[in-house]
Amino acid sequence: MAFDSAPVMKNVLSILFVFLGLNTAHAVGKYEGEAGKPFFYKISAGIERKIEIFFPPNHDPAKTKVPGVILFHGGGWSGGDLSQFRYACAYLSSRGLVCATAEYQMLGKAGMAKLGKGESKKRACVTDAKSAIRWFKKNADELGIDPARVITGGGSAGGHISALATMNPGLNDPADPRDIDTKVVAYLWFNPAFDVKDNSDPEIDILTHLKADLPPAIVFFGDKDTWKVGWDAAHAKWKTLGTKTIDLRIAPGQGHSFFNKDPWRTVTLIAADDFLVKHGFLTGKTTLTAPASGEKLVLE
């Protein structure tokens, strides 16, 4: 059965999620897929921060430990919500992974007014992302994941947040268990919003924290995306460091956030699936059907 049949997918997932006891609330005006099972991974700025978990069919945490994926939504570090990656999480969980998507603190005007000179609002986002990854690993037994095989990523601002949460040793929440690290084994980056102007605050500047030993990463960008300038700067530095683990895929004629809607949503998820199979995190073949309209990513 092709996963890209929306009515069929919705019915199948509804049955699966009811069986697993998952929250079936819909996101209005966005991906109308069922939410994952909700948990709260921390309290920041007095607000409980939610993480949704999507489980594979018939997953028994007591018997099986599978790789885990945690994705962070975009929205300019000040907006967005968990609906962005519910479809991806539902699909990847149907393929055998335990998937999560986590919200995070986004500073409003009052919060930004309290920042020190040169400090960016992006700091709070990174701190919460680190907490979410640690929570995911800490609860590995209950979730049925292998804490040594956690994959992260996200879209736009979420891609940036996932990178800094795993590369910058700082910006930790003092309440977090420091014996649990935020290292990951792979990245799924959907036009990550790296910005050369972040050099005004080294804590959130990707160029400050690059190292040669980057885990395998698949990266999606539209060739018309103005945010690609920041990615190109980071990619160039990784090349000078000798990094050879980056799989960059370009969507011809596409701008920012092209991956959020079909046909490109399906195209990028097929590529992500193939990437995860290649690196031993999944087995078998994608259950998605490539769009009949023929859109294809170009390997750089």
Supply φ then ψ for residue 59, to 5 degrees: -75, 125
Q: Which two three-digit tokens encode residue 225?
A: 């995306």
Q: What share of the chain is helix, strand, coil (3-state, %, to 5)?
A: 35, 20, 45
Residue 289 in tokens: 């059907």
In CATH, the architecture of 6-299 is 3-Layer(aba) Sandwich (3.40)
- 248 sits in which H/E element: strand 246-251
pLDDT at 108: 81
Q: What is the pLDDT of residue 22?
A: 34
What pLDDT was estimated at residue 112?
A: 82
Q: How far apart are CA 248 and CA 90, in angstroms?
A: 24
Per domain, the residue ranges of the chain are 6-299
3 state SS of 100? strand
Alpha-carbon gap, residue 234 to 139, rounded angstroms? 33
Residue 249 has φ and ψ, to the nearest 5°, of: -120, 130
How much is the pLDDT for 109? 80
List, in sequence order, every residue forming a beta bridge with 247; answer none if it has no partner.
Answer: 218
Q: For each of the chain's 300 residues, which pLDDT tens digit applies? A: 333 333 334 333 333 333 333 332 222 234 456 899 999 999 999 999 999 999 999 999 999 999 999 999 999 999 999 999 999 999 999 999 999 999 999 988 878 888 788 789 999 999 999 999 999 999 999 999 999 999 999 999 999 999 999 999 999 999 999 999 999 999 999 999 999 999 999 999 999 999 999 999 999 999 999 999 999 999 999 999 999 999 999 999 999 999 999 999 999 999 999 999 999 999 999 999 999 999 999 998
